[in-house]
Structure 1
Amino acid sequence: MVDGNSSCPEEPVAVYNISLGFTAAVPEWEALLTIFTLTMIIILTVIGNILVILSVFTHKPLRIVQNFFIVSLAVADLTVAILVLPLNVAYSILGRWVFGIHVCKMWLTSDVMCCTASILNLCAIALDRFWAITDPINYAQKRTLKRVLLMIAGVWILSLIISSPPLIGWNDWPEPDVFEKESICKLTERQGYVIYSSLGSFFIPLFIMTIVYVQIFIATRRRLRERAQASKISAILSKNPVKSSNKHQNQDRESVSSETNHNETEHAINKSKDKRARKAKKKRKSENENNEKSIYLKPVLVREDSFTDNADCSSGSQRKNSLNPCTSDKDVIPNTTSTSVKSESPQSKIVSCKPTPPPEIIPKKPGVVYQFIEEKQRISLSKERRAARTLGIIMGVFVVCWLPFFLMYVINPFCSSCCPSGRLINFITWLGYINSALNPIIYTIFNLDFRRAFKKLLGMRP
């Protein structure tokens, strides 16, 4: 976005001959440094956002419906880099607009629309994450491809509504003949439109994102406490069968000792054993029923996490190993039919496994199931923390990049004595543009799946 204040005295435009064959409004060293720096920002923005788009469509763990919001954000940032930034570089170096009034109008409209779409997409991502964490089961049913595409379409339509009023007359642009003389292309300073566009493009989305992020932080902390309590209960229940078994063994030892010392009759011994056996069997049956009930209650949390995770492929092998009965020592049966000496080596040792039990039998092994549930909860909570942290960083970078511009954009039309220099205006404007380059970098650093996808697309080792 480009800003200025018509009430300020015009700065004299100096003319410097550049060795590249054109005249500029800044010295040659500053022009070359500016061109190099801004060109690198444009290239970084283009490459980074193209990688984000390709990653979602080519990397399977990222091919999930909620990542279409990220694709929409990357498209908005990419259009900023392609449609807006190159013309801004030329305008900053030349100090005058040389592309005509019609290109100026389309450039300013594209500038407002693309930057607004980028900001509103960040807001949509925050809302999606908020609903996924606070109401995971219900929202998972609502988060369909149609719903996500409708939300994305709403973001772009709203961006068009915010950016288009100057094209239909809500502006203070000069007449074509005056425009040709002044060669200045800047956003309209109509006070009504400034308030309207700044609220829709920045301040309302900022307010929504702040409230949403605070709620996400509170919800994540609450879930962490709940999971910690659930893990403690799981650990206690998983230890009960062992304690019960030891208790029965001790009772048997004590009873045998008592029978030996008192020389009880055979009939009394058998009767006592039968009674203890019935009691032990009844107690074990009761414990198993309780364990089954507690196990069946746990998958509610697991199911909830699967809806809120971005992707849960990293724990696939762990789940497979956790539920494989061959991981238990008592399920591995050495082959004793081979008489070869070589069979003693680990490489040639033949083992056979018991058949894999169907899912409904898994709760009969509470230790394995509790271990699986705890591992699933740990992975899910780790992803929740990372996602919330990434969202917070994205929002923080967004505020740092765009807040200075929108403060200047709102203050200038209402402050006749506020006259920022051209260099300051360019710096604050490009600080906002840099947000489009930083978003894919944030994904690369803080999201493992995006990092892997980027490395794969760039031909680097994962």
Structure 2
Amino acid sequence: MSEEYSNCTEEPYGNFSTIFGSTDVPQWEAIVTICTLSFFILLTVVGNILVILSVFTYKPLRIVQNFFIVSLAVADLTVAILVLPLNVAYNVLGRWIFGIHICKMWLTSDVLCCTASILNLCAIALDRFWAITDPINYAQKRTVKRVLVMIAGVWILSLLISSPPLIGWNDWPSPEVFAERQVCSLTKRQGYVIYSSSGSFFIPLFIMTIVYVEIFIATKRRLRERAQAAKVNLSRNPCKNAEEQQDRESLSSETNHNDHLEANGKSKTKAKKKSKSEADKNTLRPILAHEDSYTDVGENSSGSNRKGSGQNKSTGSGTTVTVSSAKPTAKVVLSDPNKRPGLVYQFIEEKQRISLSKERRAARTLGIIMGVFVVCWLPFFLMYVIIPFCSVCCPSSRLINFITWLGYVNSGLNPIIYTIFNMDFRRAFRKLLGLTPN
């Protein structure tokens, strides 16, 4: 959101003659500014377009909750297209040369798109909160209609926050004064500053903080509950370690026993034993690899799953233990249910370890989301609120531009933050960019 402050003495513009005409900065600084900010605008446009195309073209991403990500990407894309290029020109030239009507539309688009971006972040936080705290009921309530209503509410609220200056709540100069001063800035009316900053940032920040704290607490509680459940499993199965030790010792005792058999029986027994041992190993290892690749976003989860299934079929008869989860059902085939309980516990512990690791990463992701959001937008809104009430505060134009663009950076980082931890988005990006190997 662009801002100039009438409390400050206006700095002269056009002090430098450059290839761009009279500018507010030296030619080298103008070139560096234009190149740097243009590169950032390009990245923001490409990143958000990739997000939108990924959801609509990559089948695993066509789920209802990703509509929020699309709405966020649209808001950030409009910031990059409608707001940032004109801001670059305004910063370099030091004056507004596009007329008062485009100025008003630019400022309105600025507030609308930036507010929509922030409110979409808030909607995503609420969606995650409901999905974690009430997963069964919310799974039924999270319909396409409900999500679209929430997204429409975000954009309508953004419009209500950005439109009042167009209908009179402003202190914009007359066309004659505007043509003389060539300054395009938001209204400094204190009432509107409080109204817009509260709706655009401080209330969403409060909601997001409460929601993410609750999500973090719920995640930590779940981690503790899982750890306690693991201890309970161990206490309910005190013979587990003894059974595993007995299982290992049985291999050696059976081998020693077979030494007393006849030569033919000895060879046959050893062959059967070796085949059974290899089958058990081949059955378990691909399953664990599949779980790891699925949770830790490996590259060949589907291939591992098919491979594991084929090996399960090759093990022959035995006891099948099915572990249910939200992921594809995994099976452990045991050749002897009385002698191989250790494999079941090993598999369950491995699944639990992977799940705990995934939830810890999710908690770290929440910290990154909130940290980036606050770092990008808090300085701007503090400046936006403080300056109209402080008659002696007069930040330089460079400081104002830096803080303003720090907020804009959030629109470029959102596609990275909300997709870098998602395997499906990364696959979709590679597919769209033609980086997927044939």
Deviations 1:37-92 (A, max 9, x none): 11011001001111111122222332211111111111110000000000001111
CA distance in 2, matches of 1:355, 1:203: 55
Kindly indicate whether residue 384 of structure 2 is the aligned counterpart of residue 398 of structure 1.
no
Shift of 1:404: 0.7
Shift of 1:450: 1.9
Q: Which residue of 2 aligns with 1:165?
A: 164
CA contact (8 A) 1:444 1:454 kept: no
Shift of 1:234: 5.0
- Aligned CA RMSD, in angstroms, stands at 3.5
Shift of 1:121: 0.7
Q: Which residue of 1 aligns with 2:91?
A: 92
CA distance in 2, matches of 1:231, 1:324: 30
CA contact (8 A) 2:226 2:352 kept: yes
Kindly tell me the number of residue pairs found equivalent between the two proteins.
377
1:50–1:237 Cα change, 3 Å = farther
Kindly indicate whether residue 431 of structure 2 is the aligned counterpart of residue 456 of structure 1.
yes
CA distance in 1, matches of 2:165, 2:303: 57
SS in 2 for 1:331: coil
Q: Which residue of 1 aligns with 2:57?
A: 58
CA contact (8 A) 1:50 1:78 kept: yes
Q: Which residue of 1 aligns with 2:402?
A: 427
CA contact (8 A) 2:7 2:393 kept: no
Question: Equivalent residues in 2 for 1:303-342 (5 A)?
Answer: 326=312, 329-331=315-317
Question: Equivalent residues in 2 for 1:294-305 (5 A)?
Answer: none
Q: Which residue of 2 aligns with 1:208?
A: 207
CA distance in 1, matches of 2:430, 2:333: 43
Q: Which residue of 1 aligns with 2:3?
A: 3
Which deviates more from structure 2 when the two are superposed, residues 373-382 or residues 447-456? 373-382
Shift of 1:7: 2.1
Match of 1:415 among 366, 375, 390: 390
Shift of 1:97: 0.7
1:64–1:314 Cα change, 3 Å = farther
Kindly indicate whether residue 123 of structure 2 is the aligned counterpart of residue 148 of structure 1.
no
Shift of 1:395: 1.6
SS in 2 for 1:214: helix
Deviations 1:186-242 (A, max 9, x none): 0110000000000110111111111111111110011112223334455656977x9
CA distance in 2, matches of 1:445, 1:400: 19
CA distance in 2, matches of 1:151, 1:371: 44
CA distance in 1, matches of 2:57, 2:349: 31
Deviations 1:158-203 (A, max 9, x none): 1001101101100010111111111110011000000000011011
CA contact (8 A) 2:13 2:93 kept: no
CA contact (8 A) 2:312 2:333 kept: no
TM-score, normalised via structure 1 length: 0.73
SS in 2 for 1:445: coil
Letter aligned with residue 80 of structure 2: A
Q: Which residue of 2 aligns with 1:40?
A: 39
Q: Which residue of 2 aligns with 1:228?
A: 227
1:399–1:355 Cα change, 3 Å = closer
CA distance in 2, matches of 1:204, 1:157: 16
Percent identical pairs in the alignment equals: 73
Match of 1:446 among 410, 418, 421: 421
CA distance in 2, matches of 1:189, 1:118: 23
Question: Equivalent residues in 2 for 1:263-274 (5 A)?
Answer: none
Which deviates more from structure 2 when the two are superposed, residues 144-153 or residues 226-235? 226-235
CA distance in 1, matches of 2:408, 2:176: 31
CA contact (8 A) 2:2 2:185 kept: yes
SS in 2 for 1:3: coil
Q: Which runs of 5+ in 2 are unaligned?
A: 247-294, 325-330
Question: Equivalent residues in 2 for 1:237-386 (5 A)?
Answer: 326=312, 329-331=315-317, 380-386=355-361
1:321–1:15 Cα change, 3 Å = same
CA contact (8 A) 2:315 2:333 kept: no
CA distance in 2, matches of 1:8, 1:213: 39
CA distance in 2, matches of 1:319, 1:381: 21
CA distance in 1, matches of 2:3, 2:98: 18
TM-score, normalised via structure 2 length: 0.76
CA contact (8 A) 2:79 2:113 kept: yes
Letter aligned with residue 200 of structure 1: G
CA distance in 2, matches of 1:394, 1:145: 25
1:385–1:315 Cα change, 3 Å = farther
1:459–1:323 Cα change, 3 Å = closer
CA distance in 2, matches of 1:69, 1:380: 26
Q: Which runs of 5+ in 1 are unaligned?
A: 247-308, 333-353
Larger Rg: 1
SS in 2 for 1:429: helix
SS in 1 for 2:17: strand
